[in-house]
Amino acid sequence: MNLFSLLFIFFFLPIAVIVYYALPGRFRNYALLAYSVLFLYFAMPMLLFLLALSTCFDYLLSFFVHNAEQASRGAKAAVLVVIVKDILLFAVLSLSGARGISFEQVGFTVYALCSISYIVDLYRYECDFERDFADFLLYNLMFWKLYTGPISSYDFMQASIKNRKLSPDNIITGVQSFVLGLFMKIVLADELQKALAAFHRSALQNPNMLSGVMTVIAATLWLFFNLWAFYNMARGLARIFGFAAEPDVSHPFRAKSVNEFLSKCMGTLSAFFRRYVYIPLGRLPIGGAISGEASSYVSILVSTAILGLCFSFTPPMLAFGLFLGIVICCERAFSKMRAGRLPGVLAVIVTNVIVCFSLSFFVSPSLGDWGTLMKAMFSFGNPASGDGLFAFQSYAVLIVLAALLSGYWLKALYEKIRKGRRLHPAWGLIGSGALLIVTTAFIIM
């Protein structure tokens, strides 16, 4: 079972919502925790076992950090133990898994980052200590956030966990957001994944420019719609159950720099690395031994390298992170020059080209495969192959449609119509119903 299975959509979720709203307020957290455990048991049983043990361990160490003196060696050691534990568990999970990025890896990454943010904030006295073990488990095991986030701090989530307001409007907007995300995942992202596989296979088997270029374009659109889909699904489920959700994806293709692109495409992940990696690195003694600007560049490179490894503990992902770091360092250096800033439209085009190229690392299982993909992208003597042309003919309409739907113009048009004509809420429900029918048909097929 997963968030986009028929079993979840038409059986698990409706029953969970009905029981949840029927229970008195003091029992709802326990019910939601039970739903999360049950969901993880059917969806990712190994991950459930790992998260349960890790959460118990974190809870015990959080007691120690809370009761220790501020900035004591014992508290620092406890924080370090949690960080090292999460890194080692992720490395083992990543290296022992199948090729590619699995939901288990992503789920543990989201958990680990939330775990680290809680223990660090507790050490810094930036969040309250959670005594209720059930609430602590709920924060770590919420089933809708373990796919791609958002990576919310406990300080942000505490208000919703302790006291949240339920209303019919939340259910309606939550269902609309969930159905929209479901449509993006099944109808767009999954179909784009098929296009990506076809172009990538052609580029590796018979290197040609068409397949190489279309591989990174398809990868960019696939990753965007995956992230946007899961964010909308997570936000929708959060609203249905009365929780707040931090903004995570916000039209990244309008970004004028790679740094801005990351903030718009992976908002909470980017904020995590800025708060817990980049800024602390600048305060380390080794950072002070380097000149101020050089220290910032080192911090950027280390932060983006770790960001890449968060997706998978492999050399291509490390290269992916380092490449982004180098580009961000160049952007930072050029921005200080009078002639270093590009005009708006040109800056957007250059940013999107760089991001597309960076995803050549993201889709490559090994550096050898990345080298072959580079050979294909720059095969000026072999512009296209038979299988590359066949893949292009099969998926060209999908690529164009996805590119159009990824733009900001659609949202701007909707907002203009909504404000101008004051659309009745029923139209939103009708639209969501139509999307659900189409999505269900795709799932069945």
How confident is the model at residue 287, as a pLDDT? 45
Q: Tell me the pLDDT tens digit for each residue of 122-151.
A: 998 888 888 899 999 999 888 888 776 788
Mean pLDDT of 378-400: 89
How confident is the model at residue 320, as a pLDDT? 94
**Helix, strand, coil percent content, the chain, rounded in steps of 5:** 80, 0, 20
Question: Quick check: 101 pLDDT over 70?
Answer: no
Q: Tell me the pLDDT tens digit for each residue of 192-203.
A: 999 999 999 999
Residues present in the chain in total: 445
How confident is the model at residue 316, as a pLDDT? 92
Question: Quick check: 288 pLDDT over 50?
Answer: no
How confident is the model at residue 385, as a pLDDT? 85
Question: Quick check: 77 pLDDT over 80?
Answer: yes
Mean pLDDT of 396-404: 92
How confident is the model at residue 417, as a pLDDT? 57
Question: Quick check: 246 pLDDT over 50?
Answer: yes
| Range name among 55-69, 221-235, 244-258, 331-345 with the lowest pLDDT average | 331-345
pTM exceeds cut of 0.75 = yes
CA distance 189 to 267: 20
Please state, for a pLDDT cut of 70, what percent of the chain lies above it.
90
Q: Tell me the pLDDT tens digit for each residue of 195-235.
A: 999 999 999 998 899 999 999 999 999 999 998 898 889 88
Q: Which two tokens stand for residue 16?
A: 């969970």
Mean pLDDT of 418-424: 58
CA distance 152 to 137: 15
Q: Where are the domains of the chain?
A: 6-163, 166-256+375-445, 257-341
Mean pLDDT of 249-270: 86
Q: How many helices (H) and strands (E) does the chain have?
A: 22, 0
pLDDT band at 419 (very low <50, low <70, confident <90, very high): low
Nearest in space to 237 (alpha carbons), one of 1, 36, 441, 442: 36
Burial per residue of 268-295, b for 16 or more beta-carbon CB atoms within 10 angstroms, e otherwise: bbbbbbeebbbeebbeeeebeeeeeeeb
How confident is the model at residue 18, as a pLDDT? 93
Q: Tell me the pLDDT tens digit for each residue of 264-285.
A: 888 888 888 888 888 888 766 5
Q: Are 308 and 317 in contact (CB under 8 A)?
A: yes
CA distance 307 to 65: 27
